[in-house]
Amino acid sequence: MTSSARFSLVGRTALVTGAGNGIGAAVARAFAAAGAAVVVADIDKDAAAREAEEIVAAGGRAEPALLDVRDPEQADRAARLAADIGDGVLHILVNNAGAIAPAMFPKMTAEQFSRVLDIHVGGTFTVSQAVLPFLPADGTGRIINVTSAAGLVGTIGQVNYGAAKAAVVGITKSLARELARRQITVNALAPLAATAMTETVRSDEKLAALTLARIPLGRWAQPDEIAGSFVFFASDAASYITGQVLPVDGGTVI
């Protein structure tokens, strides 16, 4: 196998959650460019449809899916759609869907806390369980979770988000051990990029300056810069990596 072939996703099928915009959309496009058939899943059905149309227009293969990751029935439908596209097999799951509800701890409500955990932690559990019957045991099965520096080193004003992303790390490591017997790898990425989720920080002069001061590279990444790391974890080039967390954050976590 040539070096470039090891990064090819030709013949693979992927389900990407939260793929209607931001990092999820960039990952879906990158997977399609690498040859994968992609189910673009999002709670915003119109956004998912637009992204899928763009992939198809660029010569790729994609289908949109409505998916609230907290809903087991929607997760099952999205998993079956992806498997149907892949002739009964779903090779790659990216658990990217997320949400934030920032507040300083004394003012954070129980609803703010539980909602963020339900989406990030409950969603990762629900969708991973839905796709498991379709993941192959031939070494091509991949679960790629999305965590954050907040889950690795903490963050101010987002105890809920930090707790959720730390839990995703725990899920990643435990599931990697459990699924290794089936030759399915489970890894996580901790990205930082200019997306709708970081708009609140980037649009606040003081917060933006504080954040940039913690990034050694001194700038925000664009989502497309992050997507290549997902392609790597999804490809044969990462076939012997499991249970790992890779920060893709300009050096924020070193």
Question: Phi and psi dihedrals of 17, rounded to 5?
Answer: -90, 155
CA distances from 228 to 51, 82, 102, 143, 225 (A): 18, 21, 29, 16, 7
Q: In the chain, pLDDT over 90 holds for what percent of residues?
A: 91
Return the CATH number of the domain spanning residue range 5-193+224-242: 3.40.50.720
Kindly compute the dihedral angle of the four CA atoms of residues 39, 43, 47, 50, in this order, to the nearest 10 degrees: 30
Q: Single out the catalytic residue among 113, 161, 220, 233.
A: 161
> pLDDT tens for residues 61-88?
999 999 999 999 999 999 999 999 999 9
What pLDDT sits at residue 201? 80
- Res 2 pLDDT > 80: no
User: Domain-by-domain residue ranges, the chain?
Assistant: 5-193+224-242
Question: Annotated catalytic, 240?
Answer: no
Q: Strands 142-146 and 185-191, how do they pair?
A: parallel
Helix (H, G, I), strand (E, B) or coil at 199: helix
